[in-house]
Amino acid sequence: MNISRKDGKFKKETQRRALSFFAPSSVTLRLCVKCLFLVLLISANTLGQTKSGSHTSHPRASMSPEAKKLLEDAIGVVCTQAKLDPKSSVPIDEMQARPSLPIQSPEARAGAARAQHLLPLTKSLVIASLQQLATEYGFEKSPKFRIRIKQAIARVNSVQRVKPDMDSRDNASVYLSRPHLITFGTIFLAGLRSDEGMISVLAHELMHIADGDNDSLRPLVSAVGDKASDLTGLDIHGQRSEEVTCDLIGAMAVRAYITSTPGYESIARRLARSIQHNCVELDEGDEDHLSPRGTIRALLALNPVLVRELINDREERKLP
């Protein structure tokens, strides 16, 4: 059974893959590695720096019935565009079902060229989005956290290359032992058919790199996860909060990109590309990831500006 997920993948998967020489059960390993990772963190007493993290009391965020209705409408826009837009991203359950794609295939080569071309710009967008998110959550006031952001920015700036990989199929990964590289499955490269779709996944991976091998942005990541949990009622803690934060940075990066590159396509269509690979029929999550449709819900709940722009654009287009 393939429960491995889909979108921009992550360092924990990275570790799972790195260990896969030693055992055949990748599903089991994913869980074990995560536990091991946490145990090591605790034993090294490095949790002291994140004590104010995920489970301390915080003001509970909530959504009004009107906001919930708008969110449902916005999900409708995203997944309708997934069917109408010729450059929409392929849903990840469809990607998973596809046969492997050779690196030299025209679609994979085009995707790899697009990803490499967009990498420098995406690095800048991620850095700006990360700074914006830290400010929104009040972390810019902490001198200690400002240093961590500075170090995170340096890690993002050091990324140089996208490496196409046939075996990675519909995943992208960062190996923290090789932090200058984003490994990108060829099916994924071919399935992200727009700059917006590609930027969102590159940004997701860059955010993992920003967080680094010590989870240095954990207080921010936990705050985002807590808020997403409160707003949606979904369980978004631990690795799930990191994945959602990476996706949020991806959506923010795409929004900034769209603002800076106006064109003839509708804003809603372009915005939808940042999350529509999650418009799946088969909606399965796992320990580390929300389900794809749960991911859309969490991202839009965290990002009401995105909801408004998806809806407003649709409304404007209804006018004569």
List of residues contacting Zn ion (CB under 5 A): 8, 10, 243, 246
Distance CA 293, CA 279 (A): 6
Please state, as a whole number, how many other Cβ atoms lie within 10 Å of the Cβ of residue 184.
28
Residue carrying structure tokens 């700036």: 157
- Torsion, Cα of 148, 149, 153, 155 (10° steps): 30
Bridge partners (DSSP) of residue 163 are 183
Residue with smaller CB distance to Zn ion, 8 or 285? 8
Helix or strand or coil: residue 286?
Answer: coil
Question: Least separation, in Å, of the C-beta of 205 and Zn ion?
Answer: 7
Question: Least separation, in Å, of the C-beta of 286 and Zn ion?
Answer: 12
C-alpha to C-alpha distances, 21 to 5, 100, 169, nearest whole angstrom:
20, 21, 18
Bridge partners (DSSP) of residue 184 are 164, 172
Residue with smaller CB distance to Zn ion, 73 or 283? 283
Helix or strand or coil: residue 302?
Answer: helix
Residue with smaller CB distance to Zn ion, 77 or 252? 252
Question: Least separation, in Å, of the C-beta of 2 and Zn ion?
Answer: 17
Question: Least separation, in Å, of the C-beta of 315 and Zn ion?
Answer: 33
Residue whose beta carbon is closest to Zn ion: 10
Question: Least separation, in Å, of the C-beta of 243 and Zn ion?
Answer: 5
